[in-house]
Amino acid sequence: MKCPFCSAQETQVIDSRVSEEGDVVRRRRRCTVCHKRFTTYEGAELRMPTIVKSNGQREDFSRSKLETSFHRALHKRHVEAAKVEEAIERIEQAVLNEAKREHSSGKIGEMVMEELKKLDQVGYVRFASVYRSFSDVEEFKDAIREVTKQ
């Protein structure tokens, strides 16, 4: 680790501690040249996969797009923010667990629909109507039947 004060390449670790959550290591270091002390934090960096859209275009996974989808589907619905956050985290974890470099946007959309089905029936139908591009009332009826047969 390079010293932030004198840019020396050699530093010593004086003390290491794991955070209470267990996901970050805090290290106290001392420069072997200027003898100043500083703290570093070490944590895992997870790389989210690339999303392949239906037109073949690729883009980085975006948690904010997931959040926007949920908020639009659940607009003016009484669903706890914590429940929405948990649903988004389950989707992210499922994507990470598959350990693929690329995922189709369709797969992500289906995951969102499954989570919405558990959270709120109206939100599910709203999302499905846009996601599946409903063109007539029968498609709405089918989505309602699908969500109510649970």
pLDDT one-digit tens code per residue, 88-113: 999 999 998 888 899 999 999 999 99
Instruction: Give the C-alpha distances (Å, rounded to integers) separating 77 from 48, 52, 120, 121, 139.
Output: 30, 30, 8, 10, 22
87: containing domain: 50-148
pLDDT digits over 43-67, tens only?
887 788 999 998 999 999 999 999 9
Tokens of 79: 């669903």
Residues 63 and 114 in one domain: yes
Residues 23 and 68 in one domain: no
**CA–CA separation, 43 vs 22, rounded Å?**
9
| DSSP track, 21-85 | TSSEEEEEEEETTT--EEEEEEE--PPPPEEE-TTS-EEE--HHHHHHHHHHHTTT----HHHHH
| Cross-strand pairs, 50 | 60, 102
In a domain, 3, yes or no: no
38 neighbors 4 (Cβ within 8 angstroms): yes
Residues 87 and 33 in one domain: no
Residues 39 and 113 in one domain: no
Residues 56 and 34 in one domain: no
Where is pLDDT greater, at 35 or 129? 35
